Structure formats: structure tokens, C-alpha cells
Structure 1
Amino acid sequence: MERVDLNPPTDAARHADAYASAPLLNCLLREVARPVPESGDRPAYRLPGTGRLLRVRPGRRPADPEVRADGAWHPLTHADLVKLVAEELRAHTGLPNDDLPAEMLDSRDTVATLLAARARTLAPEDPYLRSEQSLITGHPHHPAPKARGGGPVAAWLPYAPEAHARFPLVLLGVREDQAVDEGDTAALDALGTAPPGYRLLPAHPWQLDLLARDLALAFTDRRLIRLGTTESVVWPTAAVRTVYEPGRDLFLKFSLDVRITNDIRRLWRHDLEKLDRTDTAAREAFAAMGPPAVWLSDRGYRTAAFAFEELAVLVRDGLRGHLLPGATPLLAAGLAEGFDGSPLAATPDPDAWWAAYLRQVVPPALRAFDEHGVVLEAHLQNTLVAVDAAGSPVQALFRDAEGAKLLSDVSREAGWERLVYCLLVNHLGEIAAALAEAHPGLDPWPAVRAELSRHPLPEIPGLLAAPALPGKTNLLLRWTGADGADARYLPLPNPLRAGDAG
């Protein structure tokens, strides 16, 4: 008997379902499902835990999932897909998990809210800010990339980059004997004026709301005082907790006690305490390489001793002093996702554009690793690519000392695996797929092989010949409750291998 949906989804609901289902399907197909040979135009997959058959419309953003039941294919809403995935993972792993399905549903509801907000909000005119605020899909291989901690919409929407938010920061004064200051934080003092006996401490208003109960005593005994808000507004970037103040050309990164993708986004004490060492190594590596590649330095941080992680704010280099004349920076993740004015789809010569992109992005990451022992977390969200007036890439800017590793702390093998995942699988793989989608007939992988072959790292020949690349398992990582920083990989077919691309 044919199933009749008494509450068919609206166009808006279908739109939100499509955005939220694509990354969840990417995870399921990469990490769990097994392809069924010769399954026709719409690939079919066996789910090994439950034995069910699933089919999707193929592509880099899989769509229109259907499950086989009672001799017919039945379409799945996002909620149906979440239920199917949860049942599969319980059977596949033998472990229960009630939190992740809730996050998946929260992610979809967030997408619906963001789509509605964007329909009534103008995108920023600045193409850089537009690229940072473009990520409606977000991480393309995460089961809940847009979850916002399950809180009410009113708590997070005013600070959502995807909704083109901008807002002033809250200015606090922290009593001098309670202030902790490391590195170059002079830029913070320009944001306002603290009274005698206090240091200025900007705060993200969302984080301050989350901490209201915990900080009540500190305000009562005046270890903290409120000093109003900044005169100018900041724009949240793709990372949500990192903001940009264009007037001062200043990036600030805050703690945010919300789970976004795999982690609670706090500035953890152990990361802050090793920040100077990691950032110095990266800064010195890029200084030795010289232009045009750039490292955006995490200069220092300020916080309160009694809320060390919760109120920490990190100061990062701005853009203007680093950019080539006339160059416009764009977020690599925005190029993969697509935004109004993106040069990736508009370029009349995709082969030349791609070769230029690779020339800017690949050499600094490889040289930092091989010559300086710095493993950049060179994924899509940590890389800016500056383009000239014609839209051609002329410069790469890398950021986030918190995510970088040093070979003095990890083995070269582990560092190389991490670099290959971040740079090749997460970053170049997504840009290559977006480019091929926008320019049918383009094979992006010969150019990647050619660029890698120019570099004399001992690992390159093995990389080009390897049958597989490491793919991070975000779905299984989250289902099994592994630490968010504990990357686990499974083998993915290597498109760099001669004859395997296409």
C-alpha cells in the first residue's frame, strides 16, 4: 500500500531538508554504507547494521534519499534519515547515542532558521565578509554541521554569520589583580577605556549570556564590571566565535560554550598556554618563506584568572598589512560552498584558475611541514585565498595556531597524515569538486599531481602512488563519543593515483 503523507513538507522545509541531509549522507556513505554493484543511475548502498537498502541522487551533495521497503522505494525527509541513521549506527556499533540524533535535528532546524533570516537580510557588500558568512551547508562531511547547542533561536541568531549578523562587543573591566595577559594584546585597549585598577576585557555577548549565572558573584564583588559596548560592530566569521572588525582590521577569537561540529568551542587553557610556541614557529616559518604566503599571527590573549577559559579573548592579525596591492581575500570554504561574486564559478579559464590556486595554497603548507616542522591545519575554514581584479588567485593566507601542530610534538608520520587530510581531502578535494561541478568536463586532479610533484618531500612519491587517502570519520567519531580532537581516519580512493582520477 502506498504511503500517504498527510502533512507534506513545504518548499521551505524541503529546502532545509536538502541542505541538512547532504552532509549527513556524505558521512553515512563514506563511513558506513557499502555500494551495491550495478545499481543503476541512482547509486544504491547496503547498510550493514540493519541490512537496509538506501539510494540517493549522486553528486558532491547527495540528495533525495530513498529507502527500500515493501518492494518499493520510499523518500526520506531529514527526520526520517536521522531515524534511519540512528538505527543503523546502533546496530553497526552496538552503542546507543541519544545526543547526536538531537544535534542532527537541531542542525536542520538551524538551517531552516538561517534560510528564513537570509531571505530578509542583505549580504555584506564586502566580498571577503560575504565569503565568510556564506556557509549554509558548512562542513560537507559532518552529521550536524550547523547545530547551535540546542538553545532557543533568540539566543544564537543575532550572532550567526550565516544570517549576516553584525553586533557590538560587550566591554568588561577585569580587576588588575585578576587580569591575565600574554603576548601582544595592545589592540584590546583601543576598544574602550577601563577605569583605574581595571583592564579592558571585551566579551562576546552570546558567551556572556551563557555565563550569566557563573559570573554573578564576580560582578557582585566587582572583580568584573560592565563598561558598555564597543562603538563599532564586529562581523562573525565562518568559525562563529571569531569576529572581524573592519575599521580596525582586527580579528578577535572568543570562547563559546557551545558545541559546534565536534567540540565545545572554548579557548582551552592547555591550548592557550602553548599558543605562543606554536604561533612563533608558524610565524618564523612564513617569514623564512617570504611573500606572497602569509601567516595570520595569533598575537596574544587576555582573560580573567577566575574564568580563565570562559572569558579568554585571542588577538589575531588583520588582513590589510599582509595583502598584495589590489588583492581581495576570500574564504576557501566560501569558494567551495559558493556565494554571490565567487570567482570559482565565474572564471572563463578554470584550468588556469586552478593552477594558480594550487601554486598559492600548496607550496606554503608543504614547506612549513618539511622545512620548518609546522603542520598547518590547512583546511577550508583556515585558509583565505586572495584574488586579483580578474579573480585569479595570487596569494594564500593561513590562520589558527590553536589547530596547528609541531613535528617536535608529533611524529612525522602522524603530522603528514594530518596535513594530507586537511590540505588534500578536506580542502583541495572540495575545491576540485566544486570547480568540476561548475565547469563540466574539467578533470582537476592532473594539476594537483603536477603541483605536488614539484616538491621534493620524501612523502610525495608514496602519496601519488597510494591507493587511498585518509578520510576523517566525523559520524562515527561523534556516535562513539570520541574526543573531538582525536581524529580517526578511514581509507578513501586516491584521485591522485595515475589512472584513478576522473
Structure 2
Amino acid sequence: MPPMLPPLARGDIEEAADACAAAPLLNCLLREVGEPTGDPGVHRLHAGGRLLRVRGERRPARPEVYADGGWHRLTHPELVKLAAEELRRHTGLSNSELPTEIIDSRDAVAALLAARARATPPAGPYLRSEQSLITGHPHHPAPKARGGGPVTGWLPYAPEAYARFPLELLGVREDTVVEEGDTTALDTFGEAPPGYRLLPAHPWQLDLVGARPEIRDAFADGRLIRLGRTAGPLWPTAAIRTLYAPEDDLFVKFSLDVRITNDIRRLWRHDLLKLRRTDAATASAFGAVPGSAAWLSDRGYRTADFAFEELAVLVRDGLREHVVPGATPLLAAALVEESFDGSPLNGLTDPSAWWTAYLRQVVPPVLDAFARHGVVIEAHLQNALVAIDADGMPVQALFRDAEGVKLLPQVTRAAGWERLVYCLIVNHLMELAALLAERHPGMDPWPAVRRELTRYDTDHGLPEIADLLTSPTVPGKTNLLLRWTGADGADARYVPLPNPLARH
């Protein structure tokens, strides 16, 4: 199979960045405002009626537009211009911010590719998987945008550049501390003087917010003091603002006042205030789920009352207490990235057996949490880890991120099921199924998915499954339209996609 990116040994990082950035933008255009014409690779854009031709399906490339009686290849800037024109016609709205963000994302890819060529990747496969996402979200127009800031401001903290760095250690005066849950693990990073509590900070976030009056004044009057840095480095994971401390086997998640994909990545007050209830419900659900599936619990948070969101830090379970003995966890999103060195899918000889094992680990716990406990987790590729044995076979699934969890009846059952189907089926399984079908011509991954869903329904009873297996469509999130119309990042809107389960 040809690689998604041109080999960087040819020295053309700019060409590689164009190809990498074009694929998710094209995926969005074709999904949200286009339709296939019946000719291979040719799509008609709804509003303008223009014909767009691409090569490849999972990661479309080499876009061409039909004009003046022939096909004309689009450069990346021309593709961005075409997308903006189509969206203006489609929505009746203008947006000068998103095209800039798309170009920023493309330029970030170029910077990341150049940095990776000079950097040393992590030795272990788990951290390599977390730091492998050069393409990122395959259906977002600007998956690698970093807020438009200078490269020097964000590159030292980029997981895709194999970054590792110490935390800044602050002392926050005890009478201003706000915390909930179990935050004792934070105190292992250093020592605060009498009258203060330790508050680790992400150095990028401190650069972003440190000059704001509420924080500047706190340094000036002694409510906040600097205590140096952690003794060793932490590793940013795919989520960028969540870091892993391997020696302590601990994850810490920070606010980051930067737009990454759809949201400014703060630990918002409203999310933190409901965190313990949400996480407790999810942990309880997974504690009752049969088998080895695990939930990485968000144990608690600590912050300062004068900068509640800006300086918040969240403590998350590490891996060792959850991963089954002898298994190696990998980020599921890394499995669909061509840049991940160490994927069990490389050189796979029996894809059907591997896929069946994968589905058996990933699908039932997500369904069980919903059916028996009313918990809807965001089981998309970036929130799921799969642990493999020495032969590369999946033996366990682990899930994370209480911030994205929804509980019934806080959301309706129908809305919860739609979210589950999007995250698990569309965002997760459709991506892996497409990769397997691409690498193994003749393989149809969907009968195995159908069998796994049917098996769960037979054993446990989940009425929504029968409808899912016969519905002509499944929901696809409209990230391009969400960003173009300026919708809230958490405001999921969907377009109907052909349901691959209904064809079998």
C-alpha cells in the first residue's frame, strides 16, 4: 500500500504537509457539502454544483476541480479558497477565521514534520502511539491548528514533535486553594513551603495566561509563588494538554487557552464541578462490566480560586494498575496513522482474527455502560486504548476522559444513543474498518461488527441495536459546518451517512 505521506527522505516537507492537511479537509467537504456522482472519485458540491475529483477514499488526495472543459489540480491554498466559497454559498454566512485556521493547521504540520526529522521518538510503543498523530482527526478541517501563535511558542510542547518537558511548580496559598476528589498524587512532584499547596502548571499555559491581571497580582501579593520545575520530564499525549509521567504512572490534564479542533481547551468550571459525579458513575459502570475493560478515572482537581479555570490541574489514573499483565497499551487513534511505528496492523497476516478480537474487547463495554448503567462515554479513537499481547492480538480495551461523558437522564436516551453511535461506530470502527479494507483487498470488516452487536443484543438485550442494524444511515458529525457557523464546540450536529451495517 502506498504511504499517505511522500517519503520525507525526498526532502519535500512542504509537499508532505500539503497532502497531510488536504486529506481531512477533503473528507469534511465530501461528507458535509458534497455527494458522489457515480463516477469514481468524482463528487458534486451542493451549493455551487462544482465537480471535485479526488484520488483515494480513506485519505483523499490530489484534488481537482472541473472547469473550462477539463480537470484542474488544486494547490492547498486553492482548495481552502474553494471550500470557503462553497461554505458561503451553502450557509449564507461569511467566516474569515476558519480559512486562516485551516492554513495554520497545514503550516503546523510542516513544522511538526521538520521537528520530527530532528527529534528522537519515545522508546516505548505506548508513548510512540500517543505522539504519532500527524494527521489527527480525519474529519476536521484544521486538526493541527495551534491557535495561530508563533511556532516557537507551541512546538516545544507538541506531542507530534516527540516533546517531553518538566512542569512548572507553583505554590498557591492555602486559603485560596480549591480542590475536589483525590489530588494527593500532585504532591509527589515537589514540596511547597508552609502555608502553601503545590500547584503544577503546564509551561505553555503559564506563558499564555501568566501576564493576566488576576495571576500577575497573585504573584505580586504572595498568593502565588514559583517553586521551580519537576525533577524529570513529562510526555504530552495526543490530547496535547494531558501529560503522562511514566515514573509516577500518572496523567495530569491542564487548561490550555488555545483552540484545538473545535474548542478552547480549558478545564471549564461547569465541567469541573460535575466531574466527580460523572467520573464516579462511569467508574462504577466499568467496575461492573464483565471482562477486563478498564476506565482511567479522573480522580480530582486542584486550582486557585482567583484563577479557577486558568490554573486548574486534573489528576487521572495511570496505566499499570489497569492494564492486564503482559499486555502493551496503544492509543487506538494511532492505528489509523501511517506514521505510527509499532502498529500491530503492520504486517498483519490474519486481519479477520485480529478484527474479531478487537471488536470483542472494544464494543461490549461501551454498550454495557449505556444499556445497564446509563453512561455514555465518548469511545472515539483518541479516548480509547487497546492493549495487545506479545503476538499483537487485542486483549483489553481502556477508555478515558470523564469530561466528555454524558449520563442518562441528563441527556435523553435517544440523544445518548446517537452520541454513542457516532463516537463508537462512525468515528472509531468506520476508520479502522476502512484501513483494514484498504490494506487487505477483499476483506469486508462489517459482518464481524454486525455479529458482535447482535451477540450483545442476544446476551443482554439492547433494543437500539436492531434499529442500528437496519437503519439506512448513521450520524456523521459536521465539524466543518460547526466551525464555519461558529457553533459551540460541544454542539454536535450530524449529517446522515450510509450505514455499512445495513448492507450485510
**Is 1:141 equivalent to 2:139 in the alignment?**
yes
Amino acid at match of 1:277: R
User: For 1:446, what is the secondary structure of its paired residue?
Assistant: helix
User: For 1:123, what is the secondary structure of its paired residue?
Assistant: coil
**Partners of 1:494 and 1:411 in 2: how far apart?**
23
Evaluate the alpha carbon distance shift between residue 54 and residue 416 of structure 1 in structure 2; reply closer, same or farther with a 3 A threshold: same
Asked whether the equivalents of residues 345 and 439 of structure 1 are also in contact (C-alpha less than 8 Å), the reply is no
Amino acid at match of 1:242: T
**Partners of 2:341 and 2:379 in 1: how far apart?**
24
* Residue equivalent to 2:225: 225
**Is 1:202 equivalent to 2:200 in the alignment?**
yes
Shift of 1:54: 1.2
Of 54, 60, 72, 2:58 maps to 60
How is 1:68-217 mapped onto 2 (pairs within 5 angstroms)? 68-214=66-212, 215-217=215-217
* Residue equivalent to 1:251: 251
Asked whether the equivalents of residues 345 and 435 of structure 1 are also in contact (C-alpha less than 8 Å), the reply is no
How is 1:289-368 mapped onto 2 (pairs within 5 angstroms)? 289-338=289-338, 339-368=340-369
Give runs of ≥4 in structure 1 deviating > 3 Å: none
Shift of 1:70: 2.0
**Partners of 2:98 and 2:359 in 1: how far apart?**
36
Asked whether the equivalents of residues 357 and 394 of structure 2 are also in contact (C-alpha less than 8 Å), the reply is yes
**Partners of 1:429 and 1:406 in 2: how far apart?**
25
* Residue equivalent to 1:3: none
Amino acid at match of 1:283: A
**Is 1:405 equivalent to 2:418 in the alignment?**
no
* Residue equivalent to 1:484: 489
User: For 1:345, what is the secondary structure of its paired residue?
Assistant: coil
**Partners of 1:396 and 1:223 in 2: how far apart?**
43
**Partners of 1:461 and 1:346 in 2: how far apart?**
35
**Is 1:241 equivalent to 2:241 in the alignment?**
yes
**Partners of 2:287 and 2:306 in 1: how far apart?**
36
**Partners of 1:36 and 1:322 in 2: how far apart?**
48
Asked whether the equivalents of residues 255 and 267 of structure 1 are also in contact (C-alpha less than 8 Å), the reply is yes
Shift of 1:29: 0.1
* Residue equivalent to 1:284: 284
Shift of 1:35: 2.0
Asked whether the equivalents of residues 370 and 457 of structure 1 are also in contact (C-alpha less than 8 Å), the reply is yes
Query: What does the per-residue CA deviation read over 1:443-472, in whole Å, with 9 as the maximum and x for residues that have no partner?
Result: 100000000001121111110000000000
Paired-residue identity, %: 73
Query: What does the per-residue CA deviation read over 1:173-210, in whole Å, with 9 as the maximum and x for residues that have no partner?
Result: 00101111110000001110000110000000000000
**Partners of 2:327 and 2:355 in 1: how far apart?**
17
**Partners of 1:140 and 1:171 in 2: how far apart?**
36
* Residue equivalent to 1:475: 480
Deviates more, 1:482-491 or 1:343-352: 343-352
User: For 1:442, what is the secondary structure of its paired residue?
Assistant: coil
Amino acid at match of 2:49: G
Asked whether the equivalents of residues 30 and 45 of structure 2 are also in contact (C-alpha less than 8 Å), the reply is no
**Partners of 2:165 and 2:291 in 1: how far apart?**
34
Shift of 1:58: 2.5
More helix by share: 2
Query: What does the per-residue CA deviation read over 1:248-306, in whole Å, with 9 as the maximum and x for residues that have no partner?
Result: 00000000000000000000000000000000001111111254110000000000000
TM-score by length of 2: 0.95
Asked whether the equivalents of residues 345 and 438 of structure 1 are also in contact (C-alpha less than 8 Å), the reply is no
User: For 1:496, what is the secondary structure of its paired residue?
Assistant: helix
Asked whether the equivalents of residues 19 and 111 of structure 1 are also in contact (C-alpha less than 8 Å), the reply is yes
* Residue equivalent to 1:369: 370
**Partners of 1:438 and 1:191 in 2: how far apart?**
45
* Residue equivalent to 1:493: 498
Asked whether the equivalents of residues 276 and 300 of structure 1 are also in contact (C-alpha less than 8 Å), the reply is yes
* Residue equivalent to 1:464: 469
User: For 1:190, what is the secondary structure of its paired residue?
Assistant: helix
**Partners of 1:212 and 1:67 in 2: how far apart?**
47
Shift of 1:11: 2.6
User: For 1:497, what is the secondary structure of its paired residue?
Assistant: helix
* Residue equivalent to 2:6: none
Give the root-mean-square deviation of aligned CA atoms. 1.1
Amino acid at match of 2:105: S
Evaluate the alpha carbon distance shift between residue 121 and residue 438 of structure 1 in structure 2; reply closer, same or farther with a 3 A threshold: same
**Partners of 2:345 and 2:429 in 1: how far apart?**
13
How is 1:383-462 mapped onto 2 (pairs within 5 angstroms)? 383-455=384-456, 456-462=461-467
User: For 1:306, what is the secondary structure of its paired residue?
Assistant: helix
User: For 2:404, what is the secondary structure of its paired residue?
Assistant: coil
**Partners of 1:48 and 1:195 in 2: how far apart?**
63
Shift of 1:408: 2.2
Shift of 1:213: 1.3
Query: What does the per-residue CA deviation read over 1:80-99, in whole Å, with 9 as the maximum and x for residues that have no partner?
Result: 10011001111111000011
Shift of 1:440: 2.0
**Partners of 1:438 and 1:202 in 2: how far apart?**
44
**Partners of 1:291 and 1:466 in 2: how far apart?**
30
**Partners of 1:427 and 1:47 in 2: how far apart?**
26
Evaluate the alpha carbon distance shift between residue 297 and residue 190 of structure 1 in structure 2; reply closer, same or farther with a 3 A threshold: same
Asked whether the equivalents of residues 172 and 225 of structure 1 are also in contact (C-alpha less than 8 Å), the reply is yes
Shift of 1:10: 7.9
* Residue equivalent to 1:4: none
**Partners of 1:143 and 1:10 in 2: how far apart?**
26
Shift of 1:212: 2.0
* Residue equivalent to 2:7: none
* Residue equivalent to 1:6: none
Amino acid at match of 1:248: D
Task: Show structure 1 runs of 5+ residues with no match.
Answer: 1-8
**Partners of 2:126 and 2:310 in 1: how far apart?**
29
Amino acid at match of 1:181: E
Shift of 1:129: 0.2
**Partners of 1:10 and 1:393 in 2: how far apart?**
37
Deviates more, 1:302-311 or 1:340-349: 340-349
